Structure 1
C-alpha cells in the first residue's frame, strides 16, 4: 500500500492530504477520443496543449483552487509527463486516475482477450491492471511507469450496466480495497444498483464517490440522498452545465442545501466535469474555477455557511483521496 492515512497520490508523488486545498474531484485535463490522434484533421500540438491547460490551471489557482483530479482513466489521452510539468509550472496539485469504461469505449483486447472461446476480461484481471497503476505507477506508452494513480475511475453504460461493466466495477472496487485509494463510479442507469455492486466487493462506502448525481433522472429518483445514506460520497459534478440530462445550477444549489440540512454535508463533492483540451469530441469549456466563482455564491445565497462550503470543497475530498 502506498502512502498513509494523510497522504494523497499526486503525479509528483505523495502529498499531505491537508495541503490539497480546494479540490475539484471530477475533471479532465486532456481528453482524446480513442483513435482520434490518428485522424487527418486533428492536430495534437503538445506545446499548444500545455499553454491552454496551464492558463486554465493558473486561473483555478488564482481563484483559490488547490487540486484538480483528472478522472478520465487510462485510455482517453492521459499524459502523465504533461501533468507532471503542468503541476510544477502552475503550483496546482494534479491527481490522475486509472480505470476504464464503459464497455463501448473499451478496446477489443479487453473484450475478447486471447482465450478460447473469447470471453470478456474477468474482474480479477481488471483489478490487477488497475492495482499495478496505483502501486507501480501509471503506464506511459513506450516508455515506463510514472507517478502512482490516485484513484480508480470507471463508468457504466448509460442504458444500464453490462456484464463487462460489472467486471469493471468489481475490478475497480477490488483494486481500491487492495491499494487504499478511492473508487470513482459513474453510474449507468441506476446509481444505487451500481454502488451496491462495488459495496459487494467489501470496499467501504466511505472509499467510494458516485458521480453524475446531478443528472435529472438521478435527482428524480432520490439517488443523491440514497447514496449518501449508504455512506458513499455524492458528486454533483456537472456544475455549470444545464441541458436535457442535467439539472440547472439553481436546482443544484437547492439539492446541496437539502443534503446539508439532512445531515449529509460530509458526503457532498462538487466539480464541473470540465475538459481542459478535447480532441475528437466536443469539450466542456466550463472553467475549473467555476465552482468557486459562480456556484459558491449560490450556496451562500441559500444560507449555506462558510464552514459547510469548506467541508464540501476542502475537507470531504481530502478525506476521500487520502490513501488508507
Structure 2
C-alpha cells in the first residue's frame, strides 16, 4: 500500500499528539470511532469499562490498519460518546497511527437536557454562539478531560442531526459548529437528517466554504436515490461514502453498489470530493458491537474499486490527497 503515499503538501493537522505536517497523514480514514459509549452507559450496572482491555483491543485494530497501509484515523464521534483523549494519545504512541480526535456533538436525543437550557419555559435550544464557544475552546485551548484538564487540540468539529429531520436545537448546533470551523480553520463534518441539501445549506449560510465541509452517510439509499452524492460534490463539499463493509442494511448501499457509485463520481470528474471509511466502532459500550476492521477499506474495498477500473492514481487521491486537503488547518 506504499504506492498510495502522498506528495508534499504544506500546512498542519491537529492530532492527539500535537500538530503534524499534513503531508505525513498518508492513507486516512475520516469517519470512524475508537471508543463509542452511549451517554450514561458508563454508569450502567451491566457495562464494564476495563481500560486495559479497551487499550488492547484498539491497539490490535489500529496495528492491523497500519499493517494494511493505513496511517491516520479520525475519531469523529465528538465530545460525549466515550472520547478518551489520554487513551488515544497512548494508542497513537504505541501503534504509530496518527489519531485525529473531534469536538462537536449530536443528534439532539444524545445531548442531554443541559443543552436545552431547561431554565426557560418552554425549553429553548442553546444559541449557536454558545455551541461555537464550547467547540472553539476545544480547538484553541485543548479538548476537555472532564473536571480534570484540557489536552491536545481537536482536529475536526462534528455535528449530527436526527434521521427524521433537523430539529431547532440541531440547527443551532450546526450553526455553532460551522462558526467554529470558520474561525479556527478546522473542517466540519456533518451527518444529515432527512434533507441533505437543507442541512448543508444551514452551515453554508454561516459563510463557511463548502470545501471545508464533509457530508457523511452519502451511501444511504435515500441519498443516492435523490442524486445527493453528485449534487453535494458539485457544490464543492466533500462527500463521505462511509459505511464500507455494511452489506446487510437496506438503508445503505451494498459494497458493490458503493463501488459503482465511487466509479460514477470519478467518471463525472468529482474524484477530488470523495472520502471513504467504514464508521467502524473499535469498542462499543451500551450499544451493539460493530465488528468491521479499520483496514476493511484497504484490504477489501480498494481491490473491488480497482476491479471496476479505478486507477491507483484515483485511489491515492481518495485515500490520501482528499482527506489531507480536508483536515489541513486553513489560515483564519
Q: TM-score range by the shorter chain?
A: over 0.9
**Separation in 2, partners of 1:17, 1:114:** 44
**Unpaired segments ≥5 residues, structure 2:** 1-8
Asked if structure 1 preserves the Cα contact closer than 8 Å seen for 2:16 and 2:85, the reply is: yes
**Separation in 1, partners of 2:244, 2:272:** 18
Aligned residue in 1 for 2:212: 207
SS at match of 1:235: strand
Pairing partner for 2:246 from 241, 245, 249? 241
SS at match of 2:178: helix
Pairing partner for 1:176 from 174, 177, 181? 181
The reply to whether residue 306 of structure 1 matches residue 312 of structure 2 is yes
Pairing partner for 1:283 from 271, 289, 292? 289
The reply to whether residue 126 of structure 1 matches residue 131 of structure 2 is yes
Task: Give the aligned length.
Answer: 321
Aligned residue in 1 for 2:3: none
The reply to whether residue 268 of structure 1 matches residue 274 of structure 2 is yes
SS at match of 2:288: coil
Pairing partner for 1:31 from 33, 36, 40? 36
Aligned residue in 1 for 2:5: none
1:220-242 CA deviation, whole Å, 9 max, x = no partner? 00000011010000000000002
**Separation in 2, partners of 1:118, 1:248:** 41
**Separation in 2, partners of 1:89, 1:318:** 23
Aligned residue in 2 for 1:14: 19
Deviates more, 1:53-62 or 1:107-116: 107-116
Asked if structure 2 preserves the Cα contact closer than 8 Å seen for 1:238 and 1:273, the reply is: yes
The reply to whether residue 315 of structure 1 matches residue 318 of structure 2 is no
**Separation in 2, partners of 1:105, 1:178:** 26
By how many angstroms is 1:308 displaced? 0.5
Aligned residue in 2 for 1:224: 229
Aligned residue in 2 for 1:76: 81
TM value normalised by structure 1: 0.97
Asked if structure 1 preserves the Cα contact closer than 8 Å seen for 2:211 and 2:238, the reply is: yes
Pairing partner for 2:201 from 190, 193, 196? 196
Pairing partner for 1:99 from 96, 104, 107? 104
By how many angstroms is 1:142 displaced? 2.1
The reply to whether residue 254 of structure 1 matches residue 284 of structure 2 is no
Aligned residue in 2 for 1:154: 159
The equivalences for 1:109-148 within 5 A come to 109-115=114-120, 118-148=123-153
Asked if structure 2 preserves the Cα contact closer than 8 Å seen for 1:239 and 1:272, the reply is: yes
Asked if structure 1 preserves the Cα contact closer than 8 Å seen for 2:65 and 2:294, the reply is: yes
State the superposition RMSD in angstroms: 1.1
SS at match of 1:99: strand
By how many angstroms is 1:103 displaced? 0.7
TM value normalised by structure 2: 0.95
By how many angstroms is 1:211 displaced? 0.1
Aligned residue in 2 for 1:292: 298
Asked if structure 2 preserves the Cα contact closer than 8 Å seen for 1:5 and 1:323, the reply is: no
**Separation in 2, partners of 1:170, 1:250:** 35
**Separation in 1, partners of 2:250, 2:171:** 27
**Unpaired segments ≥5 residues, structure 1:** none
Aligned residue in 2 for 1:90: 95
SS at match of 2:239: strand
**Separation in 2, partners of 1:315, 1:117:** 47
